Amino acid sequence: MRDLEAIKTELEAQPSVLLAVLFGSVARGRSGPQSDLDLGVQLDPDTPQERRRIEVLAARATRRQTDVVFLDDAPPLLRFQIARDGRVLVEHQPRAWPRFKEKAMTDWWDWAPTARKINAIYLRRLKEQVAHGGS
């Protein structure tokens, strides 16, 4: 896919990008003609000012809608999903991908019981509202 090669080329030229990962429907091989490109990017911690520039570079490199998620800020469930389904595009720092995957998996399994409790409470309250005609 030309879009992926273009984004990969742009991100490979950026030394501040330690890791870039494709995730979402395109990475899983389930994309359609309207599917966007989902990119997870890990930047050198000394270059936070690069965020907007990386978003613009990714958007300009393709004709598709491109969503950039900065991996260090992503919530645990999203990091887990990226670790599970992601495809590495750029890995400037040796072992950045295995380190990310290990941390994402560990963080998710630590957080999962709490997430399940929160979801159960939310669903119970939602059912109560529906039962009482509330919105």
- Terminal-to-terminal C-alpha distance of the chain: 45
Report the amino acid identity of residue 116. Answer: R
Report the pLDDT value the prediction gives residue 35, as an integer from 0 to 100: 86
Q: What is the pLDDT of residues 82-134, one digit of tens each?
A: 999 999 999 999 999 999 999 998 987 777 778 778 888 989 999 988 988 76
Report the pLDDT value the prediction gives residue 27, as an integer from 0 to 100: 92
- State the pTM of this model: 0.79
Report the pLDDT value the prediction gives residue 135, as an integer from 0 to 100: 60
What DSSP letter does each residue of 5-30 carry, written as one string? HHHHHHHHT-TTEEEEEEESHHHHT-
- Give me the domains of the chain, ranges plus CATH numbers: 2-131 (3.30.460.10)
Q: What is the pLDDT of residues 54-74, one digit of tens each?
A: 999 998 998 889 999 999 999
Q: What are phi and psi of 131, to 5 degrees?
A: -65, -30
